[in-house]
Structure 1
Amino acid sequence: MEASGTKRREPLLTREALREGFVHKMIANSGSALPLLTDQERQASLEGTLAARPSAGDVWLFAYGSLIWNPAFHYVEKQTVLIRGWHRQFCLSTPIGRGTPDRPGLVLGLDRGGSCRGVAFRIAASEAETELELVWRREMVTGAYVPRWVELQGSGVPAGTYAIAFTINRRAPNYVRPTSEADTARVIGDASGILGSCRDYLFDTIHGLEGFGIRDRHLDRIARLVHERPTNNSG
């Protein structure tokens, strides 16, 4: 799959930006009606998730989208894995980061059903809370995701290994039920925001997956449809 034809920009979601609350500020200053979690709510979510972990020790985090190609957290190991009961889907409308209120984009979530191949990152127990706090500042700003423990399957992880995965919150106001791949491609092809275009998000995800030997035929089909559309340079 070819790239979008533009040079990839350096990601704005760096460790420093996340520490400074970049995502929260971006949404708060946008005028969007998306609800924001308070610092206390976000911290309680992190603490509750860690308290529910199936076993002590290092913490695994399952990545299926931008966390693969821009993790922005420290880890000691990464493995290609499979999870069951969830699938990768463009099901979250974004009126800010990869879109605008007038032309919202779409980003990935884990929706119920099927299975998903992705990358599991192992974070040292001594750094888990600090590193995951950065991840929570990135993923758990509006409550669009529900962090939960999922079982990993793969030759590089022991049986019975669980990881944190950010599954979609179907009650979130910007949850989008799956539509046709053509409709999804149309939204992705036209949307762009502060973090860049949806096109680049799609292509970066495909290339990130390919780097681990993972092919997602659903994303490939959407990408082919996007390639057939003219590039929107408004963002």
Structure 2
Amino acid sequence: MDGITDFWVFGYGSLMWNPGFEYVESAHARIHGYRRSLCVRSWVHRGTQERPGLVLGLDRGGSCLGMAFRTLPEHEDAVVDYLRRRELVTHVYLERRLPIRLTDGRQVMALTYVIDRTHVQYAGGLDAEHAAQVVATASGQSGPNDAYVFNTLQHLQEMGIRDHWLEEVGNRVRRLSQSSAPSS
């Protein structure tokens, strides 16, 4: 495995286009055994406790194409501290160092955050229709849940990354929004 001493971070959601830390190299990368999923109940940013929204987590199964960022070794502690403040607010994620494959073929270890399936906010196993119904009706401090999903899809498209399940959720949210819009 290459890059044993290098410090890499793997992002699968907003971290891909808004890492928030300095890095010296970035590349598309794939992690195996996990998939991008709307599997986290959002009680603050994209929903409330009464009507939770859904945000992304890295859940077991399949594979996920995301972005990897290499930082300088001397920045590792600061990057980890920043990521813990960002990702571990409610401890719905577990911090892991897992192997990823960069698009140039290198396999490296990367810090990433996977969903804690035992956490009360875990909402795994939703089909696209149920996820779309949640997303279409939830809103929190950071705005409507559908805006989060559409923004994610737009960024993925700009990065050349396809996520068929998330695209299906987005299409269903649009249909739900159109069917509930008042007729003129």
Q: What is the TM-score with the length of structure 1 in the denominator? A: 0.71
CA distance in 1, matches of 2:23, 2:87: 17
Kindly indicate whether residue 126 of structure 2 is the aligned counterpart of residue 185 of structure 1: no
CA contact (8 A) 1:58 1:128 kept: no
CA contact (8 A) 2:4 2:109 kept: no
How far has the Cα of 1:187 moved from its partner? 0.6
Q: 1:146 aligns with which of 90, 94, 104?
A: 94
CA distance in 2, matches of 1:183, 1:222: 9
Q: Which residue of 1 aligns with 2:115?
A: 168
Kindly indicate whether residue 76 of structure 2 is the aligned counterpart of residue 124 of structure 1: no
Opposite residue 123 of structure 2, the aligned amino acid is V
Q: Which residue of 2 aligns with 1:14?
A: none
Kindly indicate whether residue 178 of structure 2 is the aligned counterpart of residue 223 of structure 1: no
Q: 1:202 aligns with which of 141, 149, 153?
A: 149
CA distance in 2, matches of 1:95, 1:179: 17
Kindly indicate whether residue 58 of structure 2 is the aligned counterpart of residue 113 of structure 1: no
Residues 75, 196 of structure 1: CA spacing in aligned structure 2 closer, same or farther, 3 A cutoff?
farther
How far has the Cα of 1:212 moved from its partner? 2.2
Report the number of matched residues: 178
What residue ranges of structure 2 are gaps of 5+ in the alignment? none
**SS in structure 1 of the partner of residue 101 of structure 2:** coil
CA distance in 1, matches of 2:102, 2:78: 27
Q: Which residue of 1 aligns with 2:159?
A: 212
Q: Which residue of 1 aligns with 2:25?
A: 77
Opposite residue 198 of structure 1, the aligned amino acid is N
CA contact (8 A) 2:68 2:102 kept: no
Q: Which runs of 4+ in 1 moved over 4 A?
A: none
**SS in structure 2 of the partner of residue 106 of structure 1:** strand
How far has the Cα of 1:157 moved from its partner? 5.6
CA distance in 1, matches of 2:113, 2:140: 22
CA distance in 2, matches of 1:129, 1:67: 18
Q: List per-residue Cα deviations over 1:182-213 (Å, max 9, x = no partner).
A: 11001111111112221121122212222221
CA contact (8 A) 1:90 1:178 kept: no
CA distance in 2, matches of 1:195, 1:73: 21
How far has the Cα of 1:55 moved from its partner? 6.5
Q: Percent identity?
A: 37
Cα RMSD after superposing both structures:
1.9
More strand by share: 2
Q: Which moved more, 1:148-157 or 1:130-139?
A: 148-157
Opposite residue 190 of structure 1, the aligned amino acid is T
